[in-house]
A and B are shown apart, each in its own frame.
Chain A
Amino acid sequence: MYVAVKGGEAAIDNAHRLLADRRRGDRAVPALTLDQIAGQLALAVDRVMAEGSLYDRRLAALAVKQARGDLIEAIFLLRAYRTTLARFGYSEPLDTGAMLVERRISACHKDLPGGQLLGPTFDYTHRLLDEGLDGDASVEAGKIRAGAAEKVVRVADILADEGLIEGDGLATGDGPGDINHTPVEFPLSRAMRLQSLSRGDEGFLLALGYSTQRGYARSHPFAGEIRIGEVEVEVFLPELGFAVPVGRVQVTECQMVNQFKGSAKVPPQFTRGYGLVFGQSERKAMAMALCDRALRAEELGEDIVAPPQDQEFVISHCDNVQATGFVEHLKLPHYVDFQAELGLVRRMRAEYEARDREVAPVREAAE
């Protein structure tokens, strides 16, 4: 039962003023600029863009600042902003094969056209805190290696040459569904699942992906390829009659490769899970690919035995804006609700004690 309650206006105003004060902190310390946040906390900004489902570095940096670094709050702010903008249309599908690659690795093939390109990675760091960063010491620029550009061939294409891996399938021609407009009804198409996963919570998908590796869905994954870089975006404008290039976005793509023993219709081969996420978001793209593969259980004739294979479970709970809304709404006043529960528990307790009193004399008599 919900009853409107008035009051607390001054308390709320003062709380928000206090929030602004605490957010600013010590006035003797310079305020953070959005350029600093976007430039030096770039991966936090990328996570906010990915899960806020809005590619705009400056807005995401602003959200991080406003949320005092609470990334789920920042994601919430970005999602809210996104609803105020008109949607002009849809881009042409991004061509990740034509990416300006900043990182590309494969755990399946050592030697591959284009090479293993580590890029700006945390891998192989020793995870020792670097006290040198406590300050503003000068930092060397990256090294340069001259030489002609070599095409960074997609690993999926290399495996496809042998016919041992499933293809991507052909586009059906129908537009993909959109979870922003269509109420979610299960089972969802793979396209709509990928839309959900792409903005899903990194932590939730990471845990689910981890569970598939530990045996909660049959899965023997290899990181077929991870690539990070910028891709061109083109938007078809009807008044021009052709697709117009509007700039570039940075994305992370992950192809997980899984062994598949085959079925009555399909010979033994490798199947794939796919991850595509805004920004440099490698862990998220890998987790997404693991979850995508697990969610294909029904399509591939596998038994559904674990939570990561359950569409309703994964898709309904992966959105952290929904999740935080429902969990955090428990903070709001439930005074009337609680009074009703209190009355109920008192009554049940009284009945329980009355029953106890009736039983007790009988017991004494028996003794």
Chain B
Amino acid sequence: MGEIDDIAARKDRMAVLARADAGRLRALWSALGLDPAHRRLRGPESGLVTLRGRIGGTGEPFNMGEATVTRASVILADGAVGHAMTLGREPEKTELAAIIDALCHDRDTATRIDADLVAPIRHELATADEKRRQETAATRVDFFTMVRGED
């Protein structure tokens, strides 16, 4: 697996962790039985990220407004460093996401975490998205043409 694939896998995992419900994440984490000693390199601390849009949707960027985010960076005993940034103000969840990111430098641990923690959450999030999409689909307008005039 090349470096690009590694980054894609890491981003994919981060996307799931960022959106995960804190309670659900904590429960799956406890079940894994991993609890490595770690030190904090930075945070967890809350702050702002300026959200940018693009003029017209695809043009020049503009600043739309701010969002709260929490960031954390940790280091494990073996020197592995993990980072996390999540929308909102949930320091415990964000620190846990950073610890998981650090653990996943180890390929075997990453495989285990992906299978037992990331995959179930990803599946739940995808199911919720699909339900929302289908609810929206039920409000789709089906046009039918009225017969007009004489033929």
Contacts and interface: CB of A to CB of B under 8 A. Distances in A.
Chains A and B in contact, CB within 8 Å: yes
Interface of A: 50, 53-56, 58-59, 82, 85-94, 96-97, 100-103, 110-111, 115-121, 142-147, 149, 154, 156, 167-172, 175-176, 178-180, 190-192, 194-195, 198-199, 232-233, 235, 237, 239-240, 242-249, 251, 253, 255, 272, 274, 276, 278
B143 A145 contact: no
B11 interface: yes
Contacts of A172: 60
Interface in B55-79: 55-69, 71, 73
Nearest to B58: A168
A239 to B, nearest CB: 7
Contact of A169 (B53, B60, B64, B69): B60
Q: From DSSP, what is the main secondary structure of chain A's interface residues?
A: mixed
Given A169-B60, A274-B57, A119 B88 contact: no
Contact of B50 (A90, A147, A194): A90
Given A111-B143, A144-B131, A237-B83, A117 B49 contact: no
B80 to A, nearest CB: 14
A97 B60 contact: no
Interface residues of B, number: 53
Given A103-B136, A232-B15, A59 B68 contact: yes
Nearest to B16: A245
Contact of A91 (B7, B11, B51): B51
B123 to A, nearest CB: 16
Nearest to A115: B140
A97 B53 CA distance: 11
Nearest to A174: B60
A142 B11 contact: no
Interface of B: 7, 11, 14-15, 18-19, 45-69, 71, 73, 83-89, 129, 131-141, 143
Contacts of A111: 143
Contact of A154 (B52, B57, B139): B57
Contacts of A178: 50, 63
A178 B59 CA distance: 17
A50 B68 CA distance: 13
B18 A247 contact: yes
12 contacts: A82-B48, A88-B49, A93-B52, A94-B54, A115-B140, A169-B56, A175-B61, A180-B63, A191-B55, A194-B64, A232-B15, A246-B86
A274 B64 CA distance: 12
Contacts of A176: 52, 60-63
B88 to A, nearest CB: 7
Given A103-B136, A247-B18, A247-B19, A54 B47 contact: no
Contact of B66 (A53, A121, A243, A246): A53
Contacts of B61: 93, 171, 175-176, 191
Contact of B141 (A101, A118, A192): A118
